Chains A and B, each alone.
Chain A
Amino acid sequence: MTADEESDPILRQLARLPVAAPDAPRSERVRARCGAVLARSHASPARITPVDGVRSLIGLTLVGGVCVVYLSVVIGDALRLYWNS
Chain B
Amino acid sequence: MDRDSELALVARLRAGDTVAFDEVYAEFNDRLFSFLARLSRRRDVAEDLLEETWLRLVSQSVRLNAETRLGPWLFTVARNLHTSYRRSRMMEESHAGGFVGLWPAGLPQRSPFEETAANDMERRLEAALAALPVASREVLLLVAMEGMRPADAAAVCGIAPEAVRQRLSRARAQLARELDEAPLLQRRILREVMP
Which residues does A use to contact B, with CB under 8 Å?
Answer: 1-2, 5, 8, 10-11, 13-15, 17-23, 26-27, 30-31, 33-35, 37-39, 41-43
Contact = CB atoms under 8 A, between A and B. Distances in A.
- Give the dominant DSSP class at B's interface: helix
24 contacts: A10-B179, A11-B140, A11-B143, A13-B121, A14-B125, A15-B147, A17-B113, A17-B145, A18-B113, A18-B122, A19-B31, A19-B34, A20-B30, A20-B34, A20-B37, A20-B113, A20-B116, A21-B30, A22-B47, A31-B54, A34-B57, A38-B61, A42-B15, A42-B61
Interface of B: 13, 15-16, 18, 21-22, 25, 29-31, 33-34, 37, 43, 46-47, 50-51, 54-55, 57-59, 61-62, 112-113, 116, 118, 121-122, 125-126, 129, 140, 143-145, 147, 149-150, 168, 172, 175-176, 179
Given A13-B125, A22-B30, A23-B47, A39 B16 contact: yes
Given A15-B147, A17-B113, A31-B25, A37 B59 contact: yes
A82 B172 CA distance: 93
B29 A22 contact: yes
